[in-house]
Amino acid sequence: MQPYQKEYIANLKDISALIADRKPDGRSFAAYMEELYEHKRLIEEKIKRNMTLLRDGLFPLLDRLFEATDEELAQLEEFAAALLDGKNELDGGLFCQIHQALLSRARLTKNRNTIIEQLYWLGIGRNNMCSKMVGLDFSDSEAYMTQMRLCFGEAAAYLKYYDEIDDTRTRGYILRARANTALGAFKSASHKIRLIRQTLQILQDEDYQAKAPELPWDRYIYMTHQQMTSSISYSRENDMTPQDVAAIMESAHIVHQRRIQEALERHEAPPVKAAFSCYAIEYYCGLCTLAELLGRMEELMDSRDITDFSPDGMYAIISLPAIYCNYLQEYPEYLPKRREYLEALYRRIIAYVETFPGKKANEQIFFFLRQLSTTFIETADSISYGELQQRLLIHFAPDAYVHSQVVGKAASAFCAMIMDEEPAFFDDIDSIREITDPDAKRQQVLADAMACGAFHDVGKINFISLYSRTARQWFEEEYEIARLHTIVGSARLSAHESTRRYAAAALGHHSWYDGSHGYPDAYRRLECPCRQMVDVIGLMDWIDNGMHSSWLYGHEEKSFDQAVADAIALEGRRFSPLLTARLRDRTVVEKLRQVFESGLSQACRELYNVNAAPKSEKHG
Amino acid sequence: MEAIKGYLLIEYSECASPKILYADSNACAITGLSGEALSAADARQAVRGIDTAQIALDAAHELWILDCSQERYNAAFDRISQENRDLRDALRAAQEENLAKSSFLSSMSHDIRTPMNAIMGMTAIGLSHIDEKSRVLDCLQKIQSASNHLMSLVNDVLDMSRIASGRMSLNDEAFSLADMVHDISIIVRPQAAQKRQDLQMEIGQIYAESLIGDPLRLRQILVNIIGNAVKYTQEEGRIRVSLAQHLGEAQAADNPANEQIWLDFLCEDNGVGMSPDFLERIFVPFERVNTAAVSRIEGTGLGMSIVKNLLDRMGGRITVESEEGKGSRFCVSIPFHTALQEDRPLPEGTVLLAESLDGRAQQILDCFRDSGMETVHISSGMAAVTWLTEAQYENRMPRVLLLGQELSDMPVLEVAAHVRQLAGREFPIIWVAEIDWAQTEYRASRAGVNAFVPCPLFKSRLLSTISELTCGSQEGLDTATGQEADYSEYRLLLVEDNELNREIAMELLSLTGIQVDEAENGQRAVEAFERSPEGYYDLIFMDIQMPVLNGYEAAKKIRRLPRKDAESVWIVAMTANAFVEDIRLSKEAGMNEHCSKPVEMERLHDILRRRLKP
């Protein structure tokens, strides 16, 4: 790698470490805050430096990519590999940019082998993006899945010329691309399983193997079996043919046997994931009942200690409960007897999350958490869905947590000032209009405003690395993906009784008052029954974002007064004039200024308290 | 000496004897009866034997002129009786029409009042929320919709009035049936979609797509009938429209040119249907189906009457079958003359069709029968990409890719975008689908679709689009319309310091025919622009990172030059700097858009197409 590339990577790692280091470690709040600000300063410094490194180093290279030397190209590939190495994602967006550029170059120079290789890597990059879309409707993520699949599909099409391609590496890319065409979500599980089955046939074909004996065939085949077994993660029996089930059963058996063997050799317990696949396929084949399967899952989940932060430990403690919840969602008649177990399970998960080492946080745990957030079942005595989301934000996206709290507090204060003048201002919300007692109505509005603010960004949990770990400005594609946080947040909040009333704020807080800009299209202001509240959240969110996170949005950090003045300038377009009119009142502005300042301090204090509090459960 | 005439005023009625209302003195003298006696007498008895003539005053009163011959009297009596009967019939018809008009006025006042209420109400709401732009916008949109409806009511009434007064004339002009059907589809589809109706439009045997007739009136007829089907069919109902042609009797199937051809249009639905009574009066002006199921449907009741009148004038015919509660079926046949249609040559080679809807795919494939082109049909996007990858590698690329309405595994436009990357700029991609192109054009063009062929599919439209895209010069095709684009009258300034990049860009641009001047840095670009006459350059492609003067500064300097075109010339930043901030900076420097490097052919072409529009 070139020096600027090494420095960029080092900066990314430093930034990750600084973000992860939020434990008070016995320090006072003042000292904690001081260090937090120092970290923020350091992070911003490194981000600026990274931008300079890309501008001075990478972009000029991409600019003259057609005359880049082989060495430069090799270094560029090495740099990209360090950005996304399969286990860890340091900068998936930049990884895609680089491979897109290399693919364009390969296409223009008509270099077949490079086209295949770059298609493969671009597909990998896009798959990484797709993995963040758990919980989104297929229609919202289909375009991204398709782009990923087409990269692999085109590379896999060269399988026909396998014989004449004498480069083993390229042959390997073709085979791996063929297997990867089954990655991601499909409209039909059967389609996915059919693709994996076809891949297995190809990989097990002795002709192919004989022509490239140096390729790791055993590993390819084993990974494809693994891919097959993961198709059973969610209950899809209505969507699978008997052949599908048989194919999965065979793969599950192979994977299970091998994992048991490997575990025995290492003197470890058999891995949970492989065991679950075997149990699940037995259930699908009618060899055991759902009650038995759930019982076995409970044993597997309980078998891992909550201090086990290995991939299998993460799977047992977060992903398997997500699948467990999914079964209970589909078969609610099994829930009553398992309420207590479920509640205890959630407590373990929270304890696990809260003790999870920041430095170990990676895409794998984020992926499992997305699964859990999607299938979570709320019971009367369980932790609420909202609380789970708050805990996740605190631990994995503390800046998003602080921002959400500040927005909630500011929105609540702003609503109080509005209601002083117009007590019926929020009567567009049915449940508010029905409250006849003015004090009760006011209290409810303020509580709603706080909660709407606190939850408006929960969708960011799907894109933690994008929001919290992207150590540069976003590319356009990343903006597009980040916009999905509104849709995913709204979908999650509306799926649970305790958070349903805040879903509109999550969906609409980036919309424009006049509908000319903003997103998502799914939010139609005039059709929203609580648009005034959504407008308030949107305004407070915009002001707070203007004062912070400016690097992400490519503008200078604004003062509070500047942010307010800019909001007024957008009156009638971005913001409701009914709200911005109030920002012309100095008293209102001064009160808001205080709330934004104190809110930030309070939210940081809450973060400090949560992180400083002793964790009650240290084992399962 | 002049004969004396007497006058009797008679009240005539069928159910009683004629009664004398008035008799002048001469009449008394001629009849020998007093006025009183005459008024009590039977008029016929009273004038027996006296020559009489009668003049009808109105349907119930006659003036009898006495001292006429009996023959005259009898002939006049018969004539007047007939006239009276005719008058009674006319009166009844007039009364019925009057009743219908009263009912129409009553309905119209409701129909007019409804949108007027909306207009007035929304105006009031808008005024009271004048500071809430989106609320006002919403009100204005509703006012616009209500005004449009009001306008259509008034137009119907005016049309009917024109027809009734004989002031409506038909124009004869050549028109494309394919365009007509596409236009109709765009009008009626959203209405059907709003009611989630299954509207199928099918095209049968078509002999000639270029016809001579009055397209405006034809559209009015077809839209009226399909519009009624949509109106009178419940939500999620089914409407089937088919269009075909048959040849005039004396005409041979192998020589349809410039001869009369009948256009057969069928529209059937499973809507509310009509009672036999109503069916008899369907073409009477101001009649509307009036049942509980349709009482809320607005309209003048003139539509079908207008349709019938227009068809009569066009020499066409219409039949209607309907059953209450089951649906209706309208069959229309209209004669047209055919216009000369030039067949464009088709290339040899293969057409790759990607479409998962079997019926649609078959329809498309049928168009290539006897065309000399081979067809390959694939139903999934992944299979299409695999097929094209292999074809490209084996140097047997198809002449064109036809993307259909749906693919079994992925969105059509995602496949188009990937194929554009895979196959390059020159490979023609045509989208054959039933969509509103105006709504999708931007996305489709960006994805790399060269041309659009609407469904219901017309063979000539599809084949001529392929011909335009594949035969003759392949240079500078207009991606949106499939028309050949000639950019040779335009000039572009390419500012790029890297020689190889300049070479590549020149090569890509040379395919479009555009005249290109080069500048190797920003300073040279500013000088070249300054030296050029006003309006000389239509486009500037500007690299950002360059020695001497970078792209931002160069753009700023150009914008500041004291000449009119300095403000208007379109400047495109070409850079690998892909941050959103970079895009903002280039805009702040006065550049109009941003194109990331390495530059892709399709992107360059897209900019030319959008900016230059040859």
Which DSSP string do the residues of B136-177 spell out, in sequence order?
Answer: HHHHHHHHHHHHHHHHHHHHHHHHHHHHHTT------EEEEH
CATH 3.30.565.10 domain span(s) along chain B: 173-338
- For A310-318, the CB contacts below 8 A with 24+ separation are A311/A364, A312/A271, A312/A272, A312/A273, A314/A364, A314/A365, A314/A368, A315/A272, A315/A273, A315/A368, A316/A272, A317/A348, A317/A349, A317/A352, A317/A620, A318/A349, A318/A352, A318/A353, A318/A365, A318/A368, A318/A369, A318/A371, A318/A372
Q: Which amino acid is at A377?
A: I
Reduced to 3 states (helix: H, G, I; strand: E, B; else coil), residue B542 is strand
Residue A416 pLDDT greater than 90, yes or no = yes
Residues sharing a CB contact under 8 Å with residue B65, sequence separation 6 or more, in sequence order: B5, B6, B7, B52, B53, B54, B55
Instruction: Judge whether A414 lies within some domain.
Output: yes
Q: Answer whether B320's CB lies under 8 Å from B305's CB.
A: no
The number of CA neighbours under 13 Å toward the Cβ of A153 is 24
Residue B54 pLDDT greater than 90, yes or no = no
The number of CA neighbours under 13 Å toward the Cβ of B389 is 26
Greater pLDDT, B1 or A197: A197
- pLDDT in the model for residue B477: 40
Q: Which of these CATH numbers, 3.40.50.2300, 1.10.10.60, 3.30.1330.10, 3.40.50.10490, describes B349-470?
A: 3.40.50.2300
Find the helix packing angle between A70-83 and A92-108, rounded to 10°: 150
Letter string b/e over residues A58-68, b meaning 16 or more CB atoms within 10 A of that residue's CB: bbbbbbbbbeb
Q: Which amino acid is at A436?
A: T
Residue A89 pLDDT greater than 80, yes or no = yes
Residues sharing a CB contact under 8 Å with residue A368, sequence separation 6 or more, in sequence order: A314, A315, A318, A319, A322
- pLDDT in the model for residue B374: 92
Q: Answer whether A256's CB lies under 8 Å from A231's CB.
A: no
Among residues B381, B12, B114, the alpha carbon closest in space to that of A181 is found at B381
Q: Answer whether B389's CB lies under 8 Å from A157's CB.
A: yes
Q: pTM, whole model, 2 decimals?
A: 0.73
What are the pLDDT digits (tens) for B151-202? 777 777 777 777 766 666 777 888 888 888 887 887 788 788 888 899 888 8
Instruction: Judge whether A163 lies within some domain.
Output: no
What are the pLDDT digits (tens) for A221-277? 999 988 888 766 544 555 667 777 778 878 878 887 888 888 888 887 778 888 888
CATH architecture, range B173-338: 2-Layer Sandwich (3.30)
* Chain B residues whose beta carbon lies within 8 Å of the beta carbon of residue A572: 131-133
* Number of independent structural domains in chain A: 1
CATH architecture, range B88-164: Orthogonal Bundle (1.10)
- pLDDT in the model for residue A325: 93
Range of the domain at A523: 397-612
Instruction: Judge whether A619 lies within some domain.
Output: no
CB-CB under 8 Å, B579 with A63: no
* Arithmetic mean of pLDDT, A454-464: 89
- For B283-292, the CB contacts below 8 A with 24+ separation are B283/B307, B283/B308, B284/B100, B285/B97, B285/B100, B285/B104, B285/B160, B286/B100, B286/B101, B286/B103, B286/B104, B286/B107, B287/B100, B288/B107, B289/B232, B291/B324
- pLDDT in the model for residue A563: 92
ipTM here? 0.81
- pLDDT in the model for residue B334: 94
Rounded Cα gap, residues B180 and B178, in angstroms:
5
Burial of B359 (0-12, 13-18, 19+ CB in 10 A): exposed
Residue A80 pLDDT greater than 80, yes or no = yes
Residue B474 pLDDT greater than 50, yes or no = no
Rounded Cα gap, residues A128 and A362, in angstroms:
12
- pLDDT in the model for residue A53: 94
CB-CB under 8 Å, B133 with A513: yes
Mutation target among A51, A55, A59, A474 for the B interface, most CBs of B within 10 A? A59
Distance from CA of B153 to the nearest CA of A (A): 29
Rounded Cα gap, residues B202 and B457, in angstroms:
8
* Chain A residues whose beta carbon lies within 8 Å of the beta carbon of residue B579: 51, 472-475, 554
* Chain A residues whose beta carbon lies within 8 Å of the beta carbon of residue B584: 554-555
CB-CB under 8 Å, B393 with A158: yes
Mutation target among A58, A61, A64 for the B interface, most CBs of B within 10 A? A64
> Which residue has 């992070």 as its token pair?
A43
Max Cα distance, chain B (Å): 130
What would the DSSP string read from start to end of B106-140?
HHHHHHHHHHHHHHHHHHHHHHHTTT-HHHHHHHH
- pLDDT in the model for residue A235: 44
CATH number of the domain bearing residue A435? 1.10.3210.10
Residue A550 pLDDT greater than 70, yes or no = no
Greater pLDDT, A107 or B289: A107
CB-CB under 8 Å, B597 with A63: yes
* Chain B residues whose beta carbon lies within 8 Å of the beta carbon of residue A66: 500-501, 504, 598
CB-CB under 8 Å, A67 with B389: no
Q: Answer whether A370's CB lies under 8 Å from A463's CB.
A: no
Q: Which of these CATH numbers, 3.40.50.150, 3.30.70.20, 3.40.50.300, 3.40.50.2300, describes B491-612?
A: 3.40.50.2300
Instruction: Judge whether A436 lies within some domain.
Output: yes
Q: What is the mean pLDDT of chain A?
A: 87
* Arithmetic mean of pLDDT, B529-550: 89
Reduced to 3 states (helix: H, G, I; strand: E, B; else coil), residue B286 is coil
> Which residue has 């392929």 as its token pair?
B466
Greater pLDDT, B129 or B9: B9
Residue B356 pLDDT greater than 60, yes or no = yes
Among residues A247, A243, A242, A205, the alpha carbon closest in space to that of A228 is found at A247
pLDDT band at B258 (very low <50, low <70, confident <90, very high): low
CB-CB under 8 Å, A67 with B598: no
Give the one of B543, B545, B598 whose C-beta lies nearest to A104's C-beta.
Answer: B598
* Arithmetic mean of pLDDT, A312-328: 92
CATH 1.10.287.130 domain span(s) along chain B: 88-164
Distance from CA of B547 to the nearest CA of A (A): 12
Q: What is the mean pLDDT of chain B?
A: 81
Give the one of B500, B584, B597 whose C-beta lies nearest to A554's C-beta.
Answer: B584
pLDDT band at B475 (very low <50, low <70, confident <90, very high): very low
CB-CB under 8 Å, A476 with B583: yes
Residue A472 pLDDT greater than 90, yes or no = no
Most confident of A528-542, B24-38, B444-458, B592-606: A528-542
CB-CB under 8 Å, A515 with B498: no
* Arithmetic mean of pLDDT, B504-520: 82
Distance from CA of B497 to the nearest CA of A (A): 10
Strand ranges (E), B366-428: 373-378, 400-403
Rounded Cα gap, residues A391 and B475, in angstroms:
60
Q: In sequence order, what are the beta bridge partners of B541?
A: B494, B572
Instruction: Judge whether A354 lies within some domain.
Output: no
pLDDT band at A444 (very low <50, low <70, confident <90, very high): very high
Mutation target among B141, B403, B579 for the A interface, most CBs of A within 10 A? B579
Cβ–Cβ pairs < 8 A, chains A and B:
133
- pLDDT in the model for residue B170: 77
Residue B576 pLDDT greater than 90, yes or no = no
Residue B460 pLDDT greater than 90, yes or no = no
* Arithmetic mean of pLDDT, A73-100: 90
- pLDDT in the model for residue A122: 96
DSSP-derived pairing of the beta strands B238-247 and B327-338: unpaired
What are the pLDDT digits (tens) for B424-450? 888 999 999 988 777 788 888 888 898
Instruction: Judge whether A458 lies within some domain.
Output: yes
Distance from CA of B519 to the nearest CA of A (A): 17
Instruction: Judge whether A452 lies within some domain.
Output: yes
What are the pLDDT digits (tens) for B585-603? 888 899 988 887 767 666 7
pLDDT band at B292 (very low <50, low <70, confident <90, very high): very low
Greater pLDDT, B337 or B52: B337
Rounded Cα gap, residues A14 and A26, in angstroms:
23
Greater pLDDT, B141 or B394: B394
Residue A306 pLDDT greater than 90, yes or no = no
- pLDDT in the model for residue A440: 93
